[in-house]
Amino acid sequence: MNMSTKVLSLLAIVAAMLFSTPVLAASAAEIDSAANKALVVFKEDVNGADVFLNQAAGYLVFPRVIKVGVGIGGETGEGVLRVGGKTVDYYRTSAGSFGFQLGAQAKSIVIAFMTPESLEKFRNSSGWKAGVDGSIALIDMGGGKTIDTDNIKDPVVGFVYGSAGLMFNLTLEGSKFSKLDKSE
C-alpha cells in the first residue's frame, strides 16, 4: 500500500466516523448539559458575555465542533438554539473544506442573533448556510477580553473559542446549520 492510498484510506475512515449520525448523535439532555458547560467557559473567558447574550434575540451554542482534515477536511457538531435563555431547538453544524490542511481540532462556537429579524430568518430556513443565507461577523476573542456591545452592529455575530488541536481556521463561512429532531 503506497502513501497516497494510506492517506485516502485514513481520510475515508475519518470522514465516515465524522459524518456518521449514530456515532455523533447525542440526546437532548446531553447536548443541553454540554451547552451549559460551554456557556460557563464563554462567560468566564469573555467579560460582558452575560450582558451580550441577554441583548441577543437568540443564540446558538455548539459546545464541541470537531474538525479533521488531510487535504480534504470536514467538521461537525451538535448544539442548541436558545431564546430567552431557554432551549427551543437543536441543530447540527457541518462544513467541508479543500486545501492544505492536516490535523484535528475541537472548538466551541456561540452564534448570537442580535435582531428578531435575523433570528426569524434563521429559524424559518431549511438548512441555513453561513455566507449564503446570511453572514456571520466573527469576533476573535482571547481569554480575559471584553465584549464592547456598543460597537457590535452586525445582526449575526459568532465567537469561536476554546480551540485546541493542531489545526486552526477562524471561519464559519460555508458552515451549514440544520435543525435536528431530538424528541424522544
Q: What percent of the chain has pLDDT over 70?
A: 72
pLDDT score recorded for residue 69: 77
* Confidence category of residue 3, pLDDT binned at 50, 70, 90: low
* Confidence category of residue 166, pLDDT binned at 50, 70, 90: very low
Q: Rounded CA gap, 85 and 103, in Å?
A: 35
Q: Rounded CA gap, 38 and 166, in Å?
A: 21
Greater model confidence, 24 or 86:
86
Instruction: Measure Cα distances from 72 to 41, 119, 161 in Å.
Output: 31, 32, 23
Whether pLDDT at 45 is above 60: yes
Q: What is the pLDDT of residues 61-88, one digit of tens each?
A: 999 998 887 777 788 999 999 999 999 9
Q: Rounded CA gap, 179 and 94, in Å?
A: 12
**141: CB partners within 8 A, 6+ apart:** 45, 46, 147, 159, 161
Find, among 11, 109, 122, 5, the residue nearest to 61 by Cα: 109
Q: Rounded CA gap, 102 and 104, in Å?
A: 7
Among the listed ranges 27-36, 41-50, 60-69, 85-94, which one has the minimum average pLDDT value?
41-50
Whether pLDDT at 54 is above 70: yes
Whether pLDDT at 148 is above 60: yes
Q: What is the pLDDT of residues 137-146, one digit of tens each?
A: 877 655 556 6
Instruction: Measure Cα distances from 135 to 10, 67, 77 in Å.
Output: 33, 21, 19
Q: Rounded CA gap, 65 and 31, in Å?
A: 12
Length of the chain: 184
